[in-house]
Amino acid sequence: MIEAALRRACRTVLPGHAQKTPAQTYAAMAAWCEENGIAHDVYGDGELIQSLERKVAALLGKEAAVFCITGTMAQATALRLACDERGSRLVALHPTAHILRHERGNHQLFDHFAALQVGSPHRPFTLDELQAIPDPLGAISLELPAREIGGQCPSWDELEAFKAYARERNIHMHMDGARLWETAAAYGRSYADIADGFDTVYVSLYKGIGGLGGAILAGSNAFVARAAEWYRRQGGNVIHRSPYVVAAALQLDERLAAMPAYFARTQWLYEALAAYPLLRPNPVAPHANMLHLHLPVSRERALEIRNAIAQSHGVWLHNAVYHAMLPNTSYTEWYVGDHLLDLPDEQVHAALETWHAALEAAR
């Protein structure tokens, strides 16, 4: 609560997008519904939700797509069904995959599938590491971009090699595309090009888009129909999905159109950071409009510095801070969104100079 109040009091915020109040969000949704004659869906049946599903399927180059109340349910279901189809319960996952880090063991406790961790927790896994698995795989899951390692992605050639490997061995390719919208500008490819070769793709309706929540799973007609039935079996058959769909649909086009500008601003930011060596970005070059900044102070000291600068300068530098591997080091995540896009260059430099000086004094 104290942190939220401190952030609200700041005149300048660096990470992410401007946050609307609930009243502002609901007012915008109401106005959009009135303008477009929106009616509630009933258990997912309605033109509003089905038009969004068709739109996302077309963006991803897939036959069909279906809304799911959470990405957690969408992905666990997709991988379970994929393993059933391929006759193997083994799924290759990066050690920092959301399924492993944030879902409380759901895939194990609900007996969805068996996870095999592949590669280093500090970089994307390689084809060699994947090929070293001697067991037949049911599925490979790739997160594009991988949030827990600063938004890193495999190169385009590496990604194509993964797809070819899965195709040759009849392995289901699944994409954790929670932040897929952020990758197209970096790859210089369309969403459909990136998704080509993946059997299923999950995308979020709030990460990057700014909706209230919800997810969409895209794939073949038959696979999506099976997934929709399994969502019902797991309690995902919400009577009205319209609030989630409206919150995403009213801004989807605008957000997607802004992604190239966010990435260009991220590239500018990397150039700017060269003047502040105590702020070390990971990866060394941007793979999306997100990154990690590694700091030469402990997590506790980093939070003290952030809060002191917020109080004295009215500048909010970052959100959460995490312990790093070495003693007295930490890191934070930056999502480059409307805030950094709209700030004048000199104002960003002033904030970075103040931050860098405080880190220097704290070492």
| Digit-coded pLDDT (tens) for 122-168 | 999 999 999 999 999 999 999 999 999 999 999 999 999 999 999 99
Q: Evaluate if residue 293 carries a pLDDT over 80.
A: yes
Q: CA dist 262 to 48, 185, 247, 254, Å?
A: 28, 9, 21, 12
Amino acid in position 307 = N
Amino acid in position 119 = G
Contacts of residue 263, Cβ cutoff 8 Å, sequence gap at least 6: 182, 185, 186, 286, 288, 289, 336
Distance from C-alpha of 181 to C-alpha of 303, rounded to nearest angstrom? 30
**Helix count (H) and strand count (E) of the chain?**
16, 13
Q: Is 94 exposed, middle or buried (0-12, 13-18, 19+ CB in 10 A)?
A: buried
Paired tokens of 334: 């930056």
Name the least confident of 99-108, 135-144, 257-266. 99-108
Report long-range pairs for 37-46 (Cβ below 8 Å, ≥24 apart).
Answer: 38/242, 38/246, 39/242, 40/240, 40/242, 41/240, 41/241, 41/242, 41/245, 42/239, 42/240, 43/237, 43/238, 43/239, 44/228, 44/237, 44/238, 44/241, 46/242
Distance from C-alpha of 214 to C-alpha of 288, rounded to nearest angstrom? 22
Q: What ranges make up the beta strands (E) of the chain?
A: 12-13, 64-68, 90-93, 114-117, 139-143, 172-177, 200-204, 215-219, 280-282, 290-295, 315-316, 321-323, 330-335
40 confidence band (pLDDT: 50, 70, 90)? very high
| Digit-coded pLDDT (tens) for 314-361 | 999 999 999 999 999 999 999 999 999 999 999 999 999 999 999 999
Paired tokens of 93: 């996952």
Paired tokens of 245: 């769909």
Distance from C-alpha of 3 to C-alpha of 147, rounded to nearest angstrom? 23
Q: CA dist 166 to 137, 161, 169, Å?
A: 9, 9, 5
Paired residues of 177 in beta bridges: 203
| Digit-coded pLDDT (tens) for 198-241 | 999 999 999 999 999 999 999 999 999 999 999 999 999 999 99
Paired tokens of 220: 């073949």
218 touches 57 (CB < 8 A): yes
99 touches 266 (CB < 8 A): no
Q: Evaluate if residue 34 carries a pLDDT over 70.
A: yes
What would the mean pLDDT of 37-46 be, rounded to a whole number? Answer: 95
3 confidence band (pLDDT: 50, 70, 90)? confident
pLDDT score at 1: 64
Q: Evaluate if residue 18 carries a pLDDT over 70.
A: yes
pLDDT score at 363: 83
| Digit-coded pLDDT (tens) for 55-98 | 999 999 999 999 999 999 999 999 999 999 999 999 999 999 99
pTM of the predicted protein model? 0.95
273 touches 350 (CB < 8 A): no
Report long-range pairs for 190-196 (Cβ below 8 Å, ≥24 apart).
Answer: 191/59, 191/60, 191/61, 192/59, 192/60, 192/61, 193/61, 194/144, 194/159, 195/60, 195/61, 195/62, 196/61, 196/163
Distance from C-alpha of 139 to C-alpha of 69, rounded to nearest angstrom? 23
250 touches 327 (CB < 8 A): no
